[in-house]
Amino acid sequence: MTSAMHRPQDGTLLELRDVRTHFSTARGIVRAVDGVSFTLERGKALGIVGESGSGKTILARSIMGLLPKRGTIRQGEVLYAGDDLAKLDLKGMRKFWGQEMSMIFQDPMTSLNPLMKIGNQIGEPLRVHLGMDKENARATALKLLQDVKIPEPEKRLDQYPHELSGGMRQRAMIAIALACGPTLLFADEPTTALDVTVQAQILDLIQEQRRDRNMSVILVTHDLGVVAGHTDEIAVMYAGTLAEKATTAELFANMKHPYTEALLRSIPKLDQPSHTRLMAIGGRPPDLITPPTGCRFAPRCPYATEKCRTEIPVLESISAEHSFACWNPVGSSHWQSKQDELASNAGLASAGGQA
């Protein structure tokens, strides 16, 4: 691909400006993504984190243009290297898919064609998009399988998906996604269906390929642990909006949004003693047809005040690399007093329990 030769190596690759994706359903309008803006540099990895129903998957699909045509209402701009993808139709998007951006899905079994050999599945985009002949495509497919570190790659070319293990299938998926040398790779919960040991390997592999190919990566997941070691920046989503966005180091060192804090506290950690009580977030994400007025997290937030319930907090930057949308952020005086109150309650409760 000639254009690849002239690609700039750094600078902004992707810019989202007030992206909104709503679905019109029988029950009303679902505001799945409701005003998200951010930028992504070339070669960087962005993690989009949130619970199921936070709109993280819909946001990724809005960027890729992989949304159902019927009932979808889109607003805002998706600027990809200067082109507004939101304005493109299916035909216009097709030029971007595969060559500019590609996607890895959660379940490698259902996203691979069960009746097609692995080699042909990797070779197909090469032949369609890059016009390679059969032999060339096969040789490139083999090279890709080596890149993703599948054991015995020659043998895998002529195998069918069901003959591979879950981890190998996900590696094959990655090989397919990498085939045409994309500039932006989406990974939507790429390791949820896999064992922890394989999950770690796959995440390492994605990171390694990103560095080798100077790709940007958008990693969508519900687990802050997954993004911590494998991204440069993190966007935390809640109920279709951005709660907090920061570089990974800054977010973990200085998290501001109570939702981010709650997500982190709900993860069981190895260095805590056994039977440490987890700080679960009560309830569940709101109905996106009638989202709460004010801050959308307020009904589940332990620090919420009257202001949180009535006024929508705006995304505010505290530095070039950190912004959040909250009236009573972690570390504020209200947060501190509430924290003390909760701690003393917990102390009373445990004392009562022992008595």
Partner 1 sequence: MTDIVLDTPSKPAKPSPLTRLIGRVPPIRKWKWGFVLSVAYLVVLTFFAVFANVLPFIRRYNELPKGAAARKLASYRGKPSGSYWFGNDKLGRDTFARSVYAAQKTLTIGLASIVAALVIGGLLGMLAGYYRGWYDRVLSVIFDVLLAFPAIVLALIVVGRFFQSGRLNLGLFQMDKRFFGVIVVLTLLSVAPLARIVRAQTLALSQREYVLAARGLGASSWRILIREILPNLLPAMFSVAFTGLAVLLVAEGGLAFLGFSVQLPFPTWGFMINEARPDIVKGGGWAVFFPCILLFLTVLAFNVIGDRVARRFDIREATL
Partner 2 sequence: MAGTGKAHLHGEGQALLSVEDLLVEFPVGRTGLKVNAVTGISFDVLPGETLGLVGESGCGKSTTGKAIMQLPRPNGGSIRFEGQELTSLAGEGMRMLRTNIQMIFQDPISSLNPRRKVTNIVMEPLNIWGIGTPEERLKKVNEVLEAVGIDPDRAASSKPYQFSGGQCQRISIARALVLDPKMIICDEPVSALDVSVQAQVLNLLEDLKAKFGLTLVFIAHDLAVVKNISDRVAVMYLGKMCEVARSDDLYARPAHPYTQVLLNSIPVPDPTVKITGNQRVQGEIPSPVMPPSGCRFRTRCPIAQDRCAAEEPELQALGNDQYVACHFPLRSAN
Taken in order 291, 292, 294, 298, the sign of the CA dihedral is negative
CA distance 146 to 148: 5
For residue 4, give Cα distances in angstroms to 30, 127, 181, 215, 288: 39, 17, 8, 11, 40
Query: Does residue 268 bind partner 1 (CB under 8 A)?
Result: no
Shortest CA distance to 236 belongs to which of 244, 228, 227, 248? 244
CA distance 195 to 166: 9
Residue 273 binding result from partner 2, partner 1, none, given CB thresholds of 5 to 8 Å by partner type: partner 2
Residue 287 binding result from partner 1, partner 2, none, given CB thresholds of 5 to 8 Å by partner type: partner 1
Provide the H-helix boundaries in the chain.
2-5, 56-64, 90-94, 108-111, 118-130, 134-147, 153-157, 166-178, 196-213, 224-228, 248-253, 258-265, 306-310, 333-354
R_g (Cα) of the chain, nearest Å: 22
DSSP assigned state of 323: E
Residue 349 binding result from partner 1, partner 2, none, given CB thresholds of 5 to 8 Å by partner type: partner 1
| Number of residues in contact with partner 2 under rule CB under 8 A | 47
- For residues 283 to 302, the per-residue mask of contacts with partner 1, x marking binding by CB under 8 A and - elsewhere, is xx--x------------x--
Query: Does residue 321 bind partner 1 (CB under 8 A)?
Result: no
Q: Which stretch binds partner 1 (CB under 8 A): 80-88, 150-158, 273-281, 305-313?
A: 273-281
Given 11, 131, 282, 353, the residue binding partner 1 (CB under 8 A): 282
CA distance 274 to 276: 6
Q: Which stretch binds partner 1 (CB under 8 A): 59-67, 143-151, 211-219, 281-289?
A: 281-289
For partner 2, the closer of residues 3 and 274 by Cβ is 274
In the window 241-280, what residues touch partner 2 (CB under 8 A)? 248-249, 252, 262-264, 266-280
Taking the complex as a whole, the smallest distance from the CB of residue 309 to partner 1 amounts, in Å, to 16
Residues that bind partner 1 (CB under 8 A): 279-284, 287, 300, 349
Residues that bind partner 2 (CB under 8 A): 51-52, 151, 165-168, 195-201, 203-204, 222-226, 228-229, 248-249, 252, 262-264, 266-282, 284
